[in-house]
Amino acid sequence: MVDTRKIETVADLLARSQRTLFITGAGISVASGLPTYRGSTGVYQGGVNQEGLPYELVLSGDMLRSRPEVTWRELMRMAEKRVTNAAVNPGHEAIAAVPNAVVLTQNVDGLHRKAGSENVIEIHGNLGKLLCTECTYEREADGWKHLTIPPRCPACAGVLRPGVVLFGEALPQEALDRLDAELNQGFDLVFSIGTSSLFPYIVEPVILAAEAGIPTVEINPEETEISHVVEYRLAGNAAEVLPALLR
């Protein structure tokens, strides 16, 4: 059970914050029925898929280019629920209710935007988009059930891909530029929520804030790489802790 005194302290900080950064990972969407990727019960637990192939190989940009059918089979297994069936949960709604909030998310489910958050940086992209690998064609992904494997572009017959960052690919420059601009404006409070904090661009904003004396908060049922860095650690489910903070 989360310490009530910590909840009250962090709630007071949130009420006084003029600009708040929420950094979110797969853990915030667990209450929406979506599994995490790297946690103790994550999708990548064990490191290999049903065929015994490493996820980092199957879901890589190189594999999509050389054997797109392999990548797409795995995507179809993992993504249909994330594209069409997942609904926002109280954690997403709580963040959307915070004025002047900026959301930096690793998630590709689009749930922050569905919940009403306006300033969202989707650093890993969004599964709700399909892009052609050969031309400029793109469209919204209105469900994946009827896609061929691999799906083809109606304009040029090139292979379509989801609008997400695969293993071995660079992060989208536009998202990085937006993140830099927001960090340069500064924040009064920084949250890390439901992320294992393995990537430098996810960890760095927390470390910079802590070094500058800006309050930092982690909401996660498990300890992570930044648990020893944050000022306040709330060990719990984001869908329960975030609404409690707002109340």
Catalytically active residues are: 124
Assess contact for 28 and 92: CB atoms under 8 A.
Answer: yes
Q: How many helices (H) and strands (E) does the chain have?
A: 9, 9
Long-range contacts of 146-150 (CB under 8 A, 24+ apart): 147/72, 147/76, 149/69, 149/72, 149/73, 149/76, 150/68, 150/69, 150/71, 150/72
Taking Cα atoms as reference points, which of 50, 49, 84 lies closest to residue 167?
49
Provide the pairing of β-strand 216-219 with 20-24: unpaired
Taking Cα atoms as reference points, which of 192, 175, 193 lies closest to residue 120?
175
Assess contact for 168 and 190: CB atoms under 8 A.
Answer: no
Beta-carbon contacts of residue 247 (< 8 Å; ≥ 6 apart): none
